[in-house]
């Protein structure tokens, strides 16, 4: 087993200062090969579809062609995903950054996968993850975004606006203003392109970002898939002084939510 990775002191400082950080490696080549097999099966078989755990992040599912397939909690379907170098390294780094503030009630960890097919014109517009979360709570998360393929500007690597993690939540809406779409976007987000920093990283590397960080990924203009596996580690949340006014959360009415509710109604 390889050594558990920790950050150098200057990397921790850079993460706190800028709100994001690129890591050249967070797993092994062997593990990557295994993860690609698992990943492809989960999307080929649409695992979690009937539960509403798999859905289209970027479209309305009005036809069979999904724009940005996403699977929430793949480790519930493949528990071996909890026993990886990626998980151990991310957990160690999260503990290093948060110390005793790391939650320990089961809410400290979640995972998801986001797929961009070859020649996908779907961008993931500018957004802050906190826009998805409970508006009454202040979240301190670290998202470890690991591509299973070399991530570049051509296939949709992560892009960030440095230090935007110190801002409050901007006005969001469902992508394209369409309430049937799960994904959220900042209103007039195009203005952030000129201030963005792109983070191309090799397969098996990772970017880390904070819960309020503005981020974006572009379309996949290559012949190869852009497969991303994301682990989220969370510090204990605290009550916000003012809840976020988040009408975009009520506005959404997605097919995936309906599948989830129908499944919950069966139990
Ligand atoms: Ni995001």
Question: Which of the 8 DSSP states describes residue 76?
Answer: H
- Ligand 1 center to 266 CA (angstroms): 31
- Ligand 1 center to 36 CA (angstroms): 21
In this prediction, residue 3 carries a pLDDT of 66
Q: Where are the alpha helices (DSSP H) in 3-156?
A: 9-18, 29-44, 74-77, 85-98
In this prediction, residue 1 carries a pLDDT of 44
- Ligand 1 center to 85 CA (angstroms): 23
Instruction: Mark the ranges of the chain whose per-residue pLDDT is less than 70.
Output: 1-3, 267
- Ligand 1 center to 215 CA (angstroms): 6
Q: Is 238 helix (H, G, I), strand (E, B) or coil?
A: strand
- Ligand 1 center to 231 CA (angstroms): 12
| Contacting residues for 53 by C-beta, under 8 A, at least 6 apart | 71, 72, 73, 76, 77, 260
In this prediction, residue 198 carries a pLDDT of 98
Q: What are phi and psi of 217, to 5 degrees?
A: -130, 145
The Cα 28–Cα 33 span in angstroms is 9
User: Is residue 184 within 8 Å of 127, Cβ to Cβ?
Assistant: yes
Q: Is 247 helix (H, G, I), strand (E, B) or coil?
A: helix
Predicted structure pTM score: 0.96
- Ligand 1 center to 230 CA (angstroms): 10
Selection from 210, 216, 17 nearest residue 122 by Cα: 216
Characterise 94 by phi-psi region: left (phi > 0), alpha (psi -120 to 50), beta (else): alpha
- Ligand 1 center to 207 CA (angstroms): 12
In this prediction, residue 2 carries a pLDDT of 54
The residues placing their C-beta within 5 Å of ligand 1, an ion, are 129
């Amino acid at each position: 087993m390889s050594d558990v990775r920790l950050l150098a002191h200057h990397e921790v400082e850079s993460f706190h200062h800028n709100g994001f950080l690129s890591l050249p490696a967070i797993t092994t080549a062997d593990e990557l090969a295994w993860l690609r097999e698992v990943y492809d099966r989960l999307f080929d078989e649409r695992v979690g579809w009937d539960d509403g755990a798999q859905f289209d992040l970027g479209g309305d599912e009005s036809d069979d062609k999904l724009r940005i397939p996403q699977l929430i909690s793949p480790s519930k379907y493949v528990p071996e995903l909890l026993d990886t170098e990626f998980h151990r390294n991310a957990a160690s780094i999260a503990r290093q950054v948060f110390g005793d503030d790391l939650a320990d009630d089961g809410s400290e960890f979640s995972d998801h996968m986001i797929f961009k097919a070859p020649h996908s014109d779907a961008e993931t517009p500018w957004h802050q993850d906190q826009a998805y979360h409970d508006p009454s709570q202040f979240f301190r998360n670290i998202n470890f975004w690991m591509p299973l393929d070399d991530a570049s500007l051509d296939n949709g690597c992560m892009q960030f606006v440095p230090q935007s993690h110190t801002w409050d939540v901007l006005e969001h809406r469902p992508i394209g203003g369409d309430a049937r779409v799960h994904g959220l976007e900042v209103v007039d987000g195009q203005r952030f392109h000129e201030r963005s920093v792109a983070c191309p990283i090799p397969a098996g590397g990772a970017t880390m970002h904070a819960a309020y960080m503005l981020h974006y990924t572009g379309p996949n203009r290559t012949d190869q898939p852009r497969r991303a596996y994301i682990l989220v580690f969370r510090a204990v949340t605290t009550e916000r002084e003012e809840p976020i006014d988040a009408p975009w959360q009520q506005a959404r009415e997605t097919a995936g939510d309906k599948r989830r509710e129908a499944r919950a109604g069966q139990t």
